């Protein structure tokens, strides 16, 4: 049974300006997320996708949860997995996409944990 749905979209060009401050990256993203994004050819695109995923998780929960409590880590197959407070949460399903100037993410929380 679905207990929450969240979606977010970001204009990557606006995101570049918004995230020019290195301190902001440290407040929003975990060290593992930053390491992953920085290894990419265009890190800002990966950052934008992970930011959208975090926003989507917050919307799906429908209650206050902090960015740093949410960690989006891609598994060996490249599929984003959601960790809450350091623990993998298999009941949260996440999809991230990038196309042109946009990054988008969609999250579904499955109450049954499938």
Check pLDDT > 60 for residue 55: yes
93 is catalytic: no
**pLDDT at res. 113:** 60
**Per-residue pLDDT tens digits for 61-106:** 888 889 999 999 999 999 999 999 889 888 999 999 999 999 999 9
Domain range summary for the chain, segments of one domain joined by +: 2-110
The pTM (predicted TM-score) of the whole model is: 0.91
98 assigned to active site: yes
CATH superfamily of domain region 2-110: 4'-phosphopantetheinyl transferase domain (3.90.470.20)
Question: Which distant-in-sequence residues (6+ apart) come within 8 Å of 3 by Cβ?
Answer: 109, 110, 111
pLDDT at 60 over 70: yes
How far apart CA 111 and CA 13 sit, in angstroms, is 36
Strands (E), the chain: 2-11, 70-74, 80-84, 87-88, 92-99, 102-110
Catalytic residue selected from 40, 90, 98, 111: 98
Considering 59, 77, 87, 93, which one is annotated as catalytic? 59
Each residue of 40-53: pLDDT tens digit? 999 999 999 999 99
């Amino acid at each position: 049974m679905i207990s929450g749905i969240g979606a977010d979209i970001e204009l990557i060009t606006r995101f570049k300006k918004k995230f020019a401050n290195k301190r902001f990256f440290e407040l929003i993203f975990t060290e593992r997320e930053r390491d992953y994004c920085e290894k990419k050819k265009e890190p800002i695109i990966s950052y934008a996708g992970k930011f959208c995923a975090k926003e989507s998780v917050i919307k799906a929960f429908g209650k206050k949860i902090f960015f740093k409590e949410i960690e989006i880590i891609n598994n060996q197959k490249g599929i984003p997995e959601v960790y809450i407070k350091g623990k993998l949460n298999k009941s949260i399903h996440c999809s991230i996409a990038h196309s042109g100037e946009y990054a988008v993410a969609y999250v579904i929380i499955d109450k049954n944990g499938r």
